[in-house]
Amino acid sequence: MAGKGKDSVFGTIGVALALCLVCSVIVSFAAVYLKPVQQQNKTQDRKKNILAVVGMYDPSESIDAQFEQFETRVVELDSGDYAEGIDPANFDGRKAAADPATSHPLSREEDIAGIKRRADHSEVYLVRKDDGSIRYMVLPVHGYGLWSTLYGFLALEGDGKTIVGLSFYDHAETPGLGGEVDNPKWKAQWAGKLAYDEDWTPEAEVLKGPVNPSNPDAEHQVDGLAGATLTSRGVTQLLRYWLSDDGFKPFIQKVT
């Protein structure tokens, strides 16, 4: 029997509704209140990854202070020129790539990295030597693996050809298989490898299986990820794309 007061059906529904309302207010408040904190954490994480890919990250020091060694610029990819009108502080490469006003679709032949659209511009992060020449350039790269788009940074020395490091900060490949792109031992193989041949043809490659050091092409190659041929191929393809004329090659050639 339906009782009176808070034990009645209306009372029960009323309490449930009130509880829902209170919870939704708390969740909404948390979402709005925490958004800037999340954004700040994302920015810090990005900076940390950029520092780490060139081996400059020191966990005992402030990330912001260390990041001051970097010069952040926005580059127009087609020409390879710096885009003077765009403030790097307000530029978001992922948003630019999704917006038809600031990106263009890629044809099947062009889209070897499986990214569908390419932004007109990209950030680049530079570390200079005392004489003003470039010591390191860190380039954002992304491309499709097996299950996901891998987002990361490719770091080159000032010659534009020698790889300093490659690391991914966002992907959903399988841990233990494609997820081994995060394995420090695998990542360490990239240091000193050559991204291009003498004619500026992109040659960096993840093999299927181990590198044969006596092969002359070994200077461009790292070992395949065991049981993850498709992720390995995805990494090769994204490197080939971002090192090509469609990617950062015009910029790299201008600054070397």
Which residues of this chain interact with ligand FMN, rule CB under 6 A? 146-147, 173-174, 177-178, 227-231
Q: Is the dihedral of CA 53, 55, 58, 63 positive or negative?
A: negative
Alpha helices in the chain (DSSP H): 9-53, 63-67, 93-98, 184-188, 229-242, 249-255
| Closer residue to ligand FMN in complex, CB, 119/228 | 228
- From the list 46, 53, 56, 48, the residue with the least C-alpha distance to 91 is 46
How far apart are the C-alpha atoms of 201 and 242, rounded to whole Å?
A: 12
| Closer residue to ligand FMN in complex, CB, 83/228 | 228
Question: Rounded to the nearest whole angstrom, what is the least distance from the CB of residue 174 to ligand FMN in the complex?
Answer: 3
Query: In this structure, how many other beta carbons lie within 10 angstroms of the beta carbon of residue 171?
Result: 21
Question: Rounded to the nearest whole angstrom, what is the least distance from the CB of residue 210 to ligand FMN in the complex?
Answer: 13
| Closer residue to ligand FMN in complex, CB, 174/256 | 174
Question: Rounded to the nearest whole angstrom, what is the least distance from the CB of residue 142 to ligand FMN in the complex?
Answer: 16
Q: How many residues does the chain have?
A: 256
Question: Rounded to the nearest whole angstrom, what is the least distance from the CB of residue 179 to ligand FMN in the complex?
Answer: 6
| Closer residue to ligand FMN in complex, CB, 78/182 | 182
| Closer residue to ligand FMN in complex, CB, 152/178 | 178
Question: Rounded to the nearest whole angstrom, what is the least distance from the CB of residue 180 to ligand FMN in the complex?
Answer: 9
| Closer residue to ligand FMN in complex, CB, 14/209 | 209
Question: Rounded to the nearest whole angstrom, what is the least distance from the CB of residue 149 to ligand FMN in the complex?
Answer: 13
Question: Rounded to the nearest whole angstrom, what is the least distance from the CB of residue 148 to ligand FMN in the complex?
Answer: 8
Which residue is closest to ligand FMN by CB? Answer: 178
Q: HSE of 136 in the Cβ direction (CA atoms, 13 Å)?
A: 24
**DSSP string computed for 128-196:** E-TTSSEEEEEEEEEEE-SSSEEEEEEEEETTSSBEEEEEEEE--PPTTTGGGGG-HHHHHTTTT-BSB
| Closer residue to ligand FMN in complex, CB, 157/173 | 173
The dihedrals phi and psi of 222, each to the nearest 5 degrees, come to -125, 165
Which tokens go with 130?
A: 């005392």
